[in-house]
Amino acid sequence: MKNRRGKTRVVLCTIFFAAAFTGLGFRLYLLHFHLEAPYQQTIRGSQQINEEVAARRGRILDRRGNLFALDLARKHVCADPAYILGHGAVDSVATRLAGVLGTDAAEIAEKLDRPKRRYVRLRKYVSSETAESVTALELPGVFLEEAYRRHYPKGPLMAHVVGFANTLNDGCAGVELAMDRYLKGTPGRRVGERDGSGREIYSRRVLEQPPESGADVYLTLDQQIQYIAERAVQKAFTRHRAAGAWAVVQRVRTGEILAMASAPSYDPNRYGDARPEWRRNRAVEFVYEPGSTMKAVTVASALDAGAVRTDEIIDCEAGRWYYGGRSLSEYHGHAYGPLTVADVLKKSSNIGAAKIALRLGEEPLERYFRSFGFGEKPGTELPAEEGGLFAPAERWSKISITRLAMGHEIGVTALQMLNAVCTIANDGRRLRPSVIKRVTRGGEDVVLENRREPLDRAVSPRVAHQMRAMMARVTGEGGTAPQAAIEGFEVAGKTGTAQKIGPDGRYLRSRTVASFVGFVPADRPEIGIIVVVDDPEDGGTGGRVAAPAFAEIGEETLRFLGIPADGTEEFYTAEGF
């Protein structure tokens, strides 16, 4: 009886296991060959690769080929949480990855504890060394993605011009934004399959469309001149405890910008840490009343129209003059009597400039100011440049013409003011300023090349020559800017000290914008420079606050470019200076 029962149990067990294995085999058969369409699609979808391959963004370089922005190859560490959870490997993967990535294992485990997710990034932009270490671990469900990270090797140098790009490869400021369509490459595409652990099966790759890198952008700026300008601007900003300071260096005969510096500054590698005002390119975005620097434009306009002569006497009324029911006085209480037109410019007489403007008239003054570029954007490639504030003559009050003559009731940017003075230096012909020299693809194919672009003729060459001689007297003995003088060179320029406007609309005596703009050498101009210092705490004038920075930038730039001193045999660098 017992033997019969034992045999029965054996037969029943055999039948049970046979049935179980038969059912399992049938189920596997169905899974492989007759799986329902929705389940097939789910599995195939999780195994398929159809991804965009990131394109390398183009580089930004200065005129001599020094790198200011480039993409560095990096990797993203990614994982398939559903796969790792399904294999009970969360703790093991998190612990081993934490040692390589230098992070907390619990943090990684938390990201992996997502059973419905098939993709998660555990760490972005790891170095090639870290990526190799991750690969060596051979962790199930962990894989790497190609990526590029924008890098600015010079840090803050030229930051306001270069700008920055975000992690989505979009230009957000400066040249990065302005030339985004050239810098941004064309992504590639990869189609294939991955195994159960998330790794690609290379033998099953069906499409490999390589990405096309972006074009390289060469700037007109020069690394060395930029460094000179930034150092001088930072010094003025710190010394005078100012709200801001900035400078621009422009090549007179071509309009090319050689330097554009602004303080305070920031590091584009950490643009998110910078305050918005630090990222502001004040040279093209900050609109201010220029003050007496505008007198150079007023006098040039009147001379060109034949309204005055350089030796004509202007009565400056001993320092106080009434017109249109309002009084006008000289800065710092100067009491000038009769002055020639040339001396009005040298002494920076408010009353003299106002009377010269009246000789010219409202409509001609507006027309000349606009021919110098005021009231419109300068036209550089920079995205945030301002056009200033300049109302048409029909909206002027009776006294407006007398205030415009001395740089009030008009808003300008530093680049506008510099380009106007460079127009005088360039025989009266205004050029479009530019920060882009050329755009190339593949190292040789020139996509875009900027050339000298003449705009308006503001004044005649004869008047421009007269103005150069008169502006050179400003930096000489008895002028308002002896501190702008450069040994061995005659410097032509003009000071500006404009009082800032308070919340009540009145001018504040103790708060100013101090500036100096000029060009050198005076008789054969090569470079134009403007320095602006906003709200110096000591309330200094343009001749005391901005002129020394002008001289520092000018002296070192002339030496660097190999421009010969006055009275010496001329020679030129390879770039034609």
* Band of residue 47 on the pLDDT scale cut at 50, 70, 90: low
What is the percentage of the chain residues whose pLDDT exceeds 70?
Answer: 87
* 239 or 509, greater pLDDT: 239
% of the chain with per-residue pLDDT over 90: 69
Predicted confidence band of residue 42 (pLDDT cuts 50, 70, 90): very low
pLDDT at 574 over 60: no
Check pLDDT > 80 for residue 525: yes
Evaluate if residue 254 carries a pLDDT over 50: yes
Q: How confident is the model at residue 9 (pLDDT cuts 50, 70, 90)?
A: low
Q: Which two tokens mark 460?
A: 């005649």
- Specify the domain boundaries for CATH 3.40.710.10 within the chain: 223-312+339-561
Q: What is the mean pLDDT of residues 175-202?
A: 78
Q: Name the superfamily (CATH) of residues 68-104+120-148.
A: Penicillin-binding protein 2a (Domain 2) (3.90.1310.10)
Instruction: Report the candidate in 187, 164, 160 with the shortest Cα–Cα distance to residue 281.
Output: 160
What pLDDT, on the 0 to 100 scale, is given for residue 331? 84
Residue 265's SS3 state is coil
Mean pLDDT over each residue of the chain, to the nearest integer: 89
Q: CATH 3.90.1310.10 in the chain, residues?
A: 68-104+120-148
The helix/strand/coil state of 564 is coil
Least confident range of 191-200, 237-246, 547-556: 191-200
Q: What tens digit of pLDDT does each residue of 196-242 get?
A: 555 666 556 566 678 888 999 999 999 999 999 999 999 999 999 99
| Closest listed residue to residue 500, CA positions, set 488, 513, 489, 490 | 513
What pLDDT is recorded for position 505? 81
- Using pLDDT thresholds of 50, 70 and 90, give the confidence band for residue 8: low
pTM: 0.85
- CA dist., res. 281 & res. 161, Å (int): 7
- pLDDT of 30 > 60? The answer is no
Query: pLDDT tens across 270-296, in order?
Result: 999 999 999 999 999 999 999 999 999
What b/e readout covers 490-506, taking b as 16+ CB neighbours within 10 angstroms?
bbbbbbbbbbbeeeeee
* pLDDT given for residue 305 in this prediction: 97
Neighbours of 362 (CB within 10 A): 17
Q: pLDDT of 435-491, one tens digit each?
A: 999 999 987 789 899 888 888 899 999 999 999 999 999 999 999 999 999 999 999
pLDDT at residue 504, rounded to an integer? 83
What are the tens digits of pLDDT across the range 97-111? 999 999 899 999 999
CB 557 within 8 A of CB 258: yes
Q: What pLDDT score does 115 carry? A: 87
pLDDT of residue 10: 60
* Residue 444: DSSP 8-state: T
Of the candidate ranges 122-131, 242-251, 294-303, 363-372, the one whose mean pLDDT is the lowest? 122-131
pLDDT for 415 equals 98
What per-residue confidence (pLDDT) applies to 39?
44
Q: What is the pLDDT of residues 560-572, one digit of tens each?
A: 999 999 877 665 5
Question: Given a cut of 60, is residue 263 above it in pLDDT?
Answer: yes
Task: For residue 411, give the DSSP letter.
Answer: B
Tell me, what's the pLDDT at 519? 98
Is the pLDDT at 32 greater than 60? The verdict is no
Fold that domain 223-312+339-561 belongs to in CATH: Beta-lactamase (3.40.710)
Mean pLDDT calculated for residue range 519-536: 97
pLDDT band at 40 (very low <50, low <70, confident <90, very high): very low
pLDDT score of 569: 60
User: What is residue 201's predicted lDDT score, i.e. its pLDDT?
Assistant: 63
Q: What is the dihedral of CA 48, 51, 53, 54, to 10 degrees?
A: -140
What is the rounded average pLDDT of the residues 260-265?
Answer: 98
- Average pLDDT (387-409) is 97
With left for phi above 0 and alpha for psi between -120 and 50, is residue 409 left, alpha or beta? left
DSSP sequence for 143-192: EEEEEEEEE-TTTTTTHHHH-EE-TTS-EEEHHHHHTHHHHS-B-EEEEE
Q: Is the pLDDT of residue 35 over 70?
A: no
Listed in sequence order, the residues at least 6 apart from 380 whose beta carbon sits closer than 8 Å to its beta carbon are 257, 284, 415, 432, 433, 434, 435
Which range is least confidently modeled, 181-195, 223-237, 328-342, 525-539? 181-195
Per-residue pLDDT reduced to its tens digit, 310-364:
999 999 999 999 999 999 999 888 899 999 999 999 999 999 999 999 999 999 9
Q: Which residue has the higher pLDDT, 2 or 168?
A: 168
Helix axes of 461-472 and 414-425: crossing angle, nearest 10 degrees: 110
- Asked if the model's pLDDT at residue 6 lies above 80, the reply is no
> Could you report how far apart the first and last alpha carbons of the chain are, in Å?
118
Residue 189 pLDDT exceeds 80: no
- The number of helices, as runs of H, and strands, as runs of E, in the chain is 20, 24
